[in-house]
Structure 1
Amino acid sequence: MNHMNQLKNKIHQAFNDGNTVIGKIIGSFLLGLIILSGLLFMGENLPEFQPIKPYFETIDQVILIVFTIEYILRIWSAPNRRRAIFSFFGIIDLMVILPLLGFFPNIAFLRGLRVLEIFRMLKVIRQSSLFVTFIKSLKHYTEEFKIFGLSFCIVLIVSAFSIYTVEHPVNPEFSSIKEAVWWSFVSMSTVGYGDITPITGIGKLIASATILLGLGTIAMMTAILTKSFIDHFFGKRPHKCNFCHYPHHDHDAQFCKNCGQKLDMPLIQKTTTAS
């Protein structure tokens, strides 16, 4: 029993610790398979590769089998199997191997599940420790993201109702509030498809304001992401001061840089991309 637990721990470490030699080898191997899988998926749909499509499919099935073995080993070696199965990466891994069901006879309709192969590319996230640690760091900036989300929604709603009120009576393109919301979203993102355009002077003024406010909200989002990146990779620590609740301090900070009060927490080491 003890040997079995040791084996589980070694397998779990091999799949989840990218700092070990075996972890780097497995991670690189799986990443290579993911990239190859994506290339095969694209090649199968190109006319010039149709003569060798059966070879692509054979390689594709081998890759699927490898991913299935990976999924089984990950779940089997996980300390908490239920949590591993229903985690984000657990669900992605399961979605990836579902197309294997299409091989069984008399259930050909399940071959439609091959569309789920697109989820394979999401497995790249698991193999990138840099990306994973950065994503985890974003949870410390929930307040900033709430402000961004609220600001975006307010501008979107106000813009949509304003343009609908002004344009609807004279412009058939704004036939319902749905078109107005779509127009506002496209304008705020500065994409500007041009499928719906205002024709009144006030409508054009609203459009100009919507675009400028959209640029502002996008800049806010960019600033939040940039700050989280700098704080995470250059030694900031997301810990709130107990007095003024200022959230970000240097990795060796002992006092709050906002109010000067002593930080009531043990010193933690600088965060690195390897963590």
Structure 2
Amino acid sequence: MKQHILSLALFLRKSKRYKETKEYIRELLNGTGNPYKKYLDAFIIFLIITSVFILVYEVTNPVPLWLDYYDFYFVSFVFLIEYILRLWVHNDLSQYIVEEYHDAQFLHREFKLWPVLKYGLKEKLNYMATPAAVVDLLAIFPAYRPLRVLRIFVLFRVLKLLRYTKSINQFVEVITNKRFELLTLLFLLFFIVTTAGIAIYVLEERINPQIKSLFDAIYWSLITISTVGYGDISPVTDAGRTISMLTIISGIAMISFATSVIVSAFSERLIELKESRIIEQVNKSRSFLIICGYGQMTKMFFRQKKEKIDDYIILDKSLKRVEQARRDGYQAVQEDASRFETLSKFNVEYANITILCLTGSDVENIYITLNAKSISRKIKVIARVNDINIVSKFKYAGADHLLMPNQVVNTMIRTAITQPTMYKAIHAILTGKSVARIDEIHVHEGHTFVGKSVETLDFRTNKLLFIGIERDGEFIFNPPVSEVIQSYDILLLMGRQISLEYFKNRYAGGR
């Protein structure tokens, strides 16, 4: 038995399909990056709403047999499968078993299966005891038809909405953050209600026929402090009326205090919730841009970009700069992009991400690059470098491209002084004020000119100037006509817009 369980665990740990399936289901149930999660959530919410509607409808109306089967069997079966899957993905018993087996081999000791299974099952039992798991379990019980009393557990399906309705979760989270103030208020409420109830009971129990027990007095006190005042119990003595007035004043004060606590809590979270929505919206895109820092270079980038940029987000730790970016009409979030936790919020698994490190600090840009590459090597990082002496540090950090504005400015100033005509021409081309423009063509495997020589493409016929090729990080300027175009090359061309578009449409199509 022990050997069979170990063999199964080793097989599962080596199975790529098992790992991918479990990770996919975990992301589908608990994550935020899976694109199909929203459809699953909508489906579960639909089942909950229809199940509760059937419960309310059948109180006074006969329910069709097919609808009864749908409620008792289909809905409960779906909830059962969901509960089992959540229990399955909570932890991985095979991982614990394999780790214990490898440790035992390394230390030359006996492999003990039971302690590992006990630990893994204990973790699953701890999960089953959590409020969310208990609600999921109780939501399955109505499927047992012989005990009609279990139908009341359908109401627990309403509580499942807490898992799938984010607004409710955010409300609960805000209330939880203010639990100390609210618990203090609840204790004060209990003290005042109890004290007022006992006082009115002692003063009017023999005089007031409406107060026959201590429970009646506590009931009157709670109704009075809540300012509801049904009028079924009223004090008849001056002392009782005095207590009633003090209780009403206390109730108004407590309601005001509770309202201010909740409003202040939501005010504190309002900006954070808005920023979370922006990040979630960006994460839905397959490709987006993260711009770190809202300074002069970021403003110039948006001004130079002729087409509208939809999928982007600006990160800056300065509230003043974030507010300025929002006033300028851009999506900005107050976050420190150099922190690992900030960049890990983005969907790096399902999206192509480009990060522009445009902060004024080289150290901060290096930290952003390091964190981005530690999260995923697929993230493309373009970093700003102010000090040319630390270019090597950016390369060690993994930056894909470096922007050196100081060096570019010095070069342009020197060119403007010594060669003003060349400066005017280059400036006109780069700013789009010239008829001609420079463009990049990224060669992919499907392009028709892969494997063709430069001579075959005949750029002159297309009225284009072929400047060079970037290949594996090296730039080949004015390559020979026999040079063969390879996949993943970047061609640098110069010409009129119409010529560039014609060339792209003619040669860049798939095979």
> TM-score when scaled to structure 2?
0.43
* Separation in structure 1 between the aligned mates of residue 69 and residue 226 of structure 2, nearest angstrom: 42
Q: Determine if contact 1:190/1:211 at 8 Å carries over to the other structure.
A: yes
* 1:27-70: CA deviation from partner (whole Å, max 9, x where unpaired): 111111111112111111233xx2x4323312212111111111
Maintained 8 Å contact 1:18/1:27: no
Residues 166 and 140 (structure 1 numbering): CA distance in 2 closer, same or farther, change over 3 Å? same
Shift of 1:18: 4.3
Residue 198 of structure 1 and its aligned partner are, at CA, apart by: 1.6
TM-aligned CA deviation for residue 120 of structure 1: 0.7
Which residue matches 1:176? 213
Distance 1:218 1:252 in 2: 37
Which of residues 80, 86, 89 in structure 2 aligns to 1:74? Answer: 86
Structure with higher RCO (Cα < 8 A, 6+ apart): 1
1:215 to partner: Cα distance: 2.0
Q: Find the aligned partners of 2:318 and 2:241 in 1 and give their Cα distance.
A: 52
Say how many residue pairs are matched. Answer: 235
Is 1:64 the counterpart of 2:89 in the alignment? no
Q: How does 1:37-186 map to 2 (within 5 A)?
A: 37-47=51-61, 50=62, 52-61=63-72, 62-79=74-91, 80-102=123-145, 108=146, 110-186=147-223
- CA distance in 2 between partners of 1:183 and 1:72 (Å): 48
What's the CA shift string for 1:117-141, capped at 9, x where partnerless? 1111111111012322332343332
Per-residue displacement from partner, 1:205-247 (whole Å, max 9, x unpaired)?
32222122112212222222222222223249xxxxxxxxxxx
Shift of 1:11: 0.9
SS at match of 2:144: helix
CA 1:175–1:189: 2 relative to 1, 3 Å: same
Read off the aligned partner of 1:46 and give its amino acid letter: T
Q: Which has the higher strand share?
A: 2
Report the counterpart of residue 23 of structure 1 in structure 2: 37
Residue identity in the other structure for 2:39: I
CA shift for structure 1 position 19: 5.0
Quote the RMSD (CA, aligned, Å). Answer: 2.5
Asked whether the 8 Å contact 2:27–2:33 carries over to 1, the reply is: no
SS at match of 1:21: coil
2:25 counterpart of 1:11: yes
Q: Deviations over 1:64-112 (max 9, x none)?
A: 111111111111111352232111110001011012233xxxxx3x332
Equivalent positions of 1:196-211 (< 5 A) are: 196-211=233-248
Q: Cα–Cα, structure 1 residues 18 and 127, in superposed 2: closer, same or farther, change >3 Å?
A: farther
Structure 2, unmatched stretches of 5+, are 1-11, 92-122, 274-316, 320-337, 346-511
SS at match of 1:199: coil
Residue range with higher mean Cα deviation, 4-13 or 89-98? 4-13
Which structure has the larger Rg?
A: 2
Q: Is the 8 A contact 1:44 1:56 kept in 2?
A: no
Which residue of 1 is the match for residue 50 of structure 2? Answer: 36
1:184-218, Cα deviation, whole Å (9 max, x unpaired): 11111222233322222332232222122112212
Which range is displaced more, 176-185 or 72-81? 72-81
Distance between the aligned counterparts of 1:188 and 1:36, measured in 2?
A: 38
In structure 2, the residue corresponding to 1:89 is in which secondary structure?
helix
**Greater Cα shift, 114-123 or 38-47:** 38-47
AA at the equivalent of 1:65: F
Structure 1 stretch displaced more, 152-161 or 192-201: 192-201
In the aligned structure 2, how far is the partner of 1:176 from the partner of 1:196? 12
More helix by share: 1
